[in-house]
A = this chain, B = another copy of it.
Amino acid sequence: MSRVVKLAVIPGDGIGPEVIAEAEKVLDAVTAQSDVTFDKTHFSLGAARFLATGDTLTDEDLDAIRAHDAILLGAVGGVPGDPRLKNANIERGLLLKLRFELDHYVNLRPSKLYPGASGPLAAPGDIDFVVVREGTEGPYVGNGGSIRTGTPHEVANETSVNTAYGVERVVRHAFALAAKRRGKLTLVHKTNVLVHAGGMWQRIVNAVAAEHPEVSVDYLHVDAATIFLVTNPERFDVIVTDNLFGDILTDLAGAVTGGIGLAASGNVNPSGAYPSMFEPVHGSAPDIAGQQKADPTAAILSVALLLDHLGLTAEAARVTAAAESDIVERDATARTTSEIGSAIAERL
């Protein structure tokens, strides 16, 4: 009996379509021999679509996407400084809108240093952690505004909104993950300055910790966490943190583990009420778009996260193993985006 998964594919802008083509190649290869079929719908969204039609994400788009079981996204965003995009905020209007509308409260970002992937650290040690970034609250809520805009008397505010409901659910998810991994959870915040939001995060972590005696818990201020990410990244297993701190830490984590060309992520709605979305951490990199220079590994590892999320654990493990062995065995020889994708697909 075969299972059909309805997959929304959003290749996006810049290198997005190139890396998604390889991610699909790998997805097709791994499902060819299994009894699951992916029924794919491609959505043309992003800066290019905005320039062509003036739309970023319409209600119809959103309804159509919502009717899928999962989403695979490449990258969105036009050429920085393009005057035609001046008033379009593709990030807020498309990427963040999807995360918020589809209640992707767990932004899952694994970091692992593979032998063969060379990062900037002299002695990186054995890096293998996951950042569980809150995805629907914090300074990302868009509750900002300004008065006397553009004058010498302008005041521009941004409000970080945090709820016990929102924090508790992501903290619970992080504890469950830590319990399945090495049993270590680190809360990262800035409790000494952001006393209200930080205080609530700390209280909720303490409360959930009491239910998880098998997980050891510590706390780091976000500034100190960046130090440890470069001096002792081995110490981390699961990091749970706020939307903005998670954004910052995961780019740094990607860099220390060999570059964001390898960093995969999932925007997950664990309840299953909405489709979850999987995407490389990197952006659309318009400067190298169309040149077959992008590394599709992050997009391919995002497919593995997607398969895992759908309960297709065997397929997920095969994709991960294929991508990992490609990373481990790669040398300095330059390969095109498509060559890397094919090499990984062939290993399956």
Contacts and interface: CB of A to CB of B under 8 A. Distances in A.
Nearest to A145: B196
Interface string A219-249: 0001110110011000000000000100110
A91 B193 contact: yes
Nearest to A123: B120
A133 B208 CA distance: 36
A291 interface: no
Contacts of A226: 226, 248, 251-252, 255
A294 to B, nearest CB: 16
A227 to B, nearest CB: 4
Given A120-B123, A226-B251, A230-B230, A192 B159 contact: no
A139 B251 CA distance: 21
A246 to B, nearest CB: 10
Interface residues of A, number: 61
Interface stretch (A15-23, A149-157, A313-321): A149-157
Contacts of A151: 164
A227 B227 CA distance: 13
Contact of A197 (B89, B150, B156, B196): B156
Nearest to A249: B226
How many copies the complex holds: the figure is 2
A254 interface: yes
B192 A91 contact: yes
B193 A92 contact: yes
Contacts of A193: 91-92, 96, 139-140, 244, 247
Contacts of A162: 155-158
B160 A157 contact: yes
A54 B247 CA distance: 39
Given A120-B231, A192-B91, A192-B92, A252 B252 contact: yes
B230 A256 contact: yes
29 contacts: A120-B230, A121-B121, A122-B122, A139-B158, A139-B194, A144-B196, A146-B199, A149-B200, A152-B164, A153-B165, A154-B164, A155-B161, A155-B164, A156-B162, A157-B159, A158-B159, A158-B160, A158-B194, A159-B159, A190-B244, A193-B247, A222-B247, A223-B247, A224-B251, A227-B251, A227-B254, A230-B230, A230-B255, A252-B252
